[in-house]
Structure 1
Amino acid sequence: MTAKAAAAGPAGAGPFSMFERMVAWRYLRPQRKEAVVSVIALISFFGIMLGVAALIIVMAVMNGFRAELLTRILGINGHLILSPVDLPLDDYDAIAKRINGVGGVKYAIPMIDGQVLSTGTAGPGTGALVRGIRGEDLGKISLVATNIRQGSLVGFDTGEGVAIGARMAENLGLVLGDTITLVSPEGDATPFGTTPRVKTYPVTAIFEVGMSEYDSSIVFMPLSEAQLYFNMDNQAQTIEIFVDNPDTVDALKPAVEEAAQRPVYLADWRQRNQTFFSALQVERNVMFMILTLIVLVAALNIISGLIMLVKDKGHDIAILRTMGATQGAILRIFLMTGAAIGVAGTLAGVGLGVVVCLNVETIRQFFSWLSGTVLFNPELYFLSQLPARMDFGETASVVAMALVLSFLATIFPAWRAARLDPVEALRYE
């Protein structure tokens, strides 16, 4: 050892050394005389865990709810709706073929929509939406074609039957082969005025797409039969256009208008559902801000717990300072003590949130059985199951927010501990 090194003395422990970690861990362990401090630390841990878990679960459910609704709404309705201007849409077949040739378009489907009153063998009548569509086109709507619970779509155009939703069949007491009666206010003109049109159709297929609004209200009818029923001979009401990427509908509008070769009005899925999805977005943002307060309150508990710990450990801090511990070492010790609570609570919250999200439907069914009530009623929330879809970026932002709040909460108590004067702390010892 050189004379210069000998004069300098032994080198102290570096930042975040084993000594500092050992002292920080010792302060974290519960001791009988520090029961209050330990309880506050435990409350802070559970507060951060529950806050992070609640944020992850709620955001995942909101994302899943929006994604499922979007999938079902866009799976059964066109992304672009073409309506005629001035003249009836009697050349729908030629227009649909030209639009099918536009790049980015999956298929264009001529349709007729009409409101009717439907009655069956049991229960009161209910309002329904009749959608006139060709059998080949109905087979292209995979959300319906792949969810046929009874019957078949084979021979849909020639069978003069209709396909109805499972909830409508249940409400009206209908099974496959029964007849459903449809009453339209737009009937035949007589000398005594317009009389409602009443006609019965056999039920040839029953579908279930998983969205109660559709399963309880939609009736698919062959296009040729719908033209007769609604007095629209050789006409279509609209052409619904399904595209490869729903977010690019704006770029496709000029090409679709050009392919139509006549004046038309185009409405996209965002215009038709703007209020609904805007309300979902607002609700999601508000829930995030409200649940963030849970994590903030838990972080404030860390501050109070560390302030009490610093006050209780004033004697120990003074002794450490007299033994050579620097202000920086004391600062880092209490930073690690508080941060450990935040990090552990955050990691536990992430684990709890992931477990709940992966089993959210099972948990819902369990609580429904336990309470004897229907939680997440499909009649109110449109979907038959509680969805949850975790987003990695969103989860990472929740974790980062919780960690930042936890670290910020430790700064003031750790700074007070580092500023403690050992002479004052040991004056009356």
Structure 2
Amino acid sequence: MIAGRYLRARRKEAFISVIASLTMVGVAIGVATLIVVMSVMNGFRGELLDKILGLNGHFTAYPIESQFTDYKETVAALEEVDGVRFAVYFVEGQVLASGQGSSSGVTVRGMDEENLRKLTLLYNGAEQGGFDQWDQSRGVAIGYRLAQTLGVGIGDQVQIINPEGTMTPFGSTPQIRSYPVNAIFNLGMVEFDSYFMYMPLEPAQDYFKLVDEVLKPGMGPLDPLATDAEIDAAYQRIPRASAAEIFITDPDAVGVMRERLQAASGVRPLILTSWQERNQTFFSALQVERVVMFTILSMIILVAAFNIISSLIMLVKDKSADIAVLRTMGATRGSIMRIFSITGTAIGVIGTLVGFVLGLIIASNAEAIRASISNFLGVTLFPPEVFFLSSLPSRVDAVEVTVVVSMALGLSFLATLYPAWRAAQYDPVEALRYE
């Protein structure tokens, strides 16, 4: 009751009440800021992982010792390993893509429709066109940002140029071919939407010359005068793949799954590169940034806790006569400590609860708030070219929110101990001497 009376403002105590209110606002801002920033960073990391691992596997398997001609058998054996969701094989190469007067370097991946269907992020990400009858289409699929760069749409021709073309007596000539655009996808990640192009597997194998033609078993030397039909009948085509992507159930179980994949029976020798190795620098930087941001923003709550100390010390000074009267009426030192501890802790608890609610509201509507501010100011906040993502993601982590709230409550309580102890040490005689 007494602590509640000390919290309520009176005319002569208005200044102290204003300080207490500002302290409460400081705690609320600190808690809300921590919740929002940590949620956005969680969403940023989670969204990047979902996008990166939605197209690129948790492991990339490269062949060693011989050409990757047994890619279908290898992928089938990999999918039998416990903990593997699925695996896909593909052809990959770097080319220059040209459209309506503009060019851009792109990565071309050749995949058949069966494997494309496994990549649900890509298969369902087609905004225009689609992947139906993909193997028979002889066209390409490009990201919407790449389509804007090249100035092409559905049905337009895209010319791709490979510098490692046909060998002639005068050297290598670039290989130039044109393909119609059959699909334009939007994955929400700048890297994929700007620099990736997909085409059916067989045309990609032909384009990158990953098809070996060897004589069929039992065929002798060909007649120099043999017709084209006889030559085609004597040779068999053996296509190759560049590598395979392996998608596992638990992305963090890289060490265990590497051993299982390498020990899998029936799998040829492979070089396995995990997603952690490919993106180690990037995600390590994100983790360091999370820790640094949490530490820096925690200072806001710490400053608010010091404000609780200063406001309580002023309250104790102002209430010295009240403390003396209470002591003469029989109040113990412990009772005095409890009064001021409850007063200071109430400031921290109310501020923490307000910050908790405010932080959850902002974190849950981060993208809508960003879009509204961008439209109002006429500027692009968090440009996708810099932050890789086309929207501002946010994921609230219950554990982190609990840590933030617990830290705020703990600091608020600790901040009350010294002023409450000073109040309990007041001598009633000295306090009332000049009253």
Structure-2-length-normalised TM-score = 0.91
Paired residue for 1:270, among 276, 281, 285?
A: 276
Does the 8 Å contact 2:154/2:181 carry over to 1? yes
Contact 1:177/1:204 (8 A) holds in 2: yes
Distance 1:119 1:287 in 2: 43
Give yes or no for the alignment of 1:366 onto 2:372.
yes
What corresponds to 1:320 in structure 2?
A: 326
Superposed CA deviations along residues 326-373 of structure 1, whole A, max 9, x for unmatched, are 111111000010000000000000000011011111100111011100
Instruction: Tell me, in whole angstroms, the C-alpha distance in 2 between the residues paired with 1:260 and 1:108.
Output: 15
Q: Give the AA of the match of 1:186.
A: E
Q: Could you tell which deviates more after superposition, 174-183 or 333-342? A: 174-183
Q: CA RMSD in A?
A: 1.2
Q: Is 1:190 aligned to 2:168, yes or no?
A: yes
**Deviation of the 1:65 alpha carbon:** 0.5
Provide Cα deviations, 1:120-171, integer angstroms capped at 9, x if missing partner. Answer: 115x311111011112101110001111111121121121101111111122
Q: Would you say 1:355 and 2:368 are equivalent positions?
A: no
**TM-superposed deviation, 1:177:** 0.6
1:235-250 to structure 2, matched below 5 A, reads: 235-250=240-255
Amino acid at match of 1:341: I
The answer as to 2:289 corresponding to 1:289 is: no
Structure 2 segments unaligned to the other structure (5+ residues): 212-238
Distance 1:107 1:71 in 2: 16
> Contact 2:85–2:248 (CA<8 Å) still a contact in 1?
yes
Query: Residues 245-260 of structure 1 correspond to what in structure 2 (within 5 A)?
Result: 245-257=250-262, 258-260=264-266
Partner of 2:22, secondary structure, is helix
| Residues in 1 aligned to 2:360 and 2:406: alpha-carbon distance in whole angstroms | 16
In the alignment, is residue 412 of structure 1 matched against residue 418 of structure 2? yes
Aligned with 2:131: secondary structure? coil
1:36 shift after superposition:
2.4
AA in 1 matched with 2:176: V
Distance of 1:184 and 1:333 partners within structure 2:
80
Equivalent residue for 2:106, pick from 128, 140, 145: 128
The amino acid across from 1:349 in the alignment is G
Distance 2:119 2:421 in 1: 64
Aligned position for 1:396? 402
**Pairs within 5 Å for 1:223-238:** 223-233=201-211, 234-238=239-243
| Residue 23 (structure 2) aligns with | 44
Counterpart residue number, 1:10: none
Secondary structure at the counterpart of residue 157 of structure 1: helix
Asked if 1:206 is matched to 2:206, the reply is no
CA-to-partner distance for each residue in 1:380-399, whole Å, 9 max, x for gaps?
Answer: 11111111100111100000
Alpha-carbon distance, 1:252 to partner: 2.5
Cα displacement (A) at 1:260: 5.0
TM-score by length of 1: 0.93
1:189 maps to a residue whose letter is: M
2:313 and 2:162 map into 1 onto residues whose CA distance is 74
The more displaced of 296-305 and 378-387 is 378-387
Give the C-alpha shift of residue 301 in structure 1.
0.3
**% identity of equivalent residues:** 53
Listed as ranges, the matches of 1:81-120 within 5 Å are 81-120=60-99
Distance change (3 Å), C-alpha of 1:255 and 1:329: closer
Contact 1:115–1:128, Cα closer than 8 Å, also in 2: yes
**In structure 1, C-alpha distance between the alignment counterparts of 2:114 and 2:8, rounded to whole Å:** 70
Matched, 1:70 2:49: yes
2:306 is aligned with 1:300: yes
Secondary structure, counterpart of 2:136 in structure 1: coil
The one-letter amino acid of 1:134's match is D
1:387 and 1:260 mapped to 2: Cα distance? 42
Residue 182 of structure 1: how far off its partner (Å)? 1.0
Q: Select between 277-286 and 92-101 the one with higher mean Cα deviation.
A: 92-101
For this pair of structures, how many residues does the alignment match? Answer: 407
How far apart, in 2, do the equivalents of 1:260 and 1:82 lie? 15
Instruction: Tell me what 2:232 maps to.
Output: none
Residue pair 1:95, 1:259 contacting (<8 A) in 2 also:
no
* Contact 1:118 1:181 (C-alpha < 8 Å) held by counterparts: yes
Distance 1:141 1:260 in 2: 25
* Of 334, 344, 359, the match for 2:350: 344
Q: Which runs of 4+ in 1 moved over 6 A?
A: none
